[in-house]
Structure 1
């Protein structure tokens, strides 16, 4: 299986493989220096009005400041998993080129 990334986080050695498997080797207690995964919501705007929405998004919601977001992302350590949410396609296309 091919390794995608290997990095040190505190007293932990982390390896991520192409199938998504994450292997962490460490001695007790586990002492991390930074988060291993981060969720980012790029907008709080939504015009669907779903009554069951747990995101509390609506038509008064604001979009994230892309420059501030990029500054934060550039400071992340290699290997940190990033989940991007809070979007519909028209909004996403402002931020990302989907291929």
Structure 2
């Protein structure tokens, strides 16, 4: 029994020590900072621009922004032929549908 321990135990123990040292070395390399005063945290002062919701129906283009709908009619030369502003209570960022007169949109999780 003692001889089997010497034959198998010592090499296995040495291999385990080598693997533990390699693991510890790799752990130190991963935790090393690339530059002094470097951090993995992200700054939270990032702000993005408000992008209007866009909807197209019956040749008109509808843009929602700040509680208002801008309806544009674009001609064949790709210039604005007609523009009108419709005052609604559409929540910013939620999709909407319109036929030009009535609007369907989300409000508090319900379709209005």
- Whether the TM-score (by the shorter chain) exceeds 0.5 is no
Question: If the length of structure 1 is used for normalisation, what is the TM-score?
Answer: 0.25
Q: Which has the higher contact order (CA 8 A, sep 6+)?
A: 1
- Please state which structure has a larger fraction of its residues in helix: 2
Question: If the length of structure 2 is used for normalisation, what is the TM-score?
Answer: 0.23
Structure number, greater radius of gyration? 2
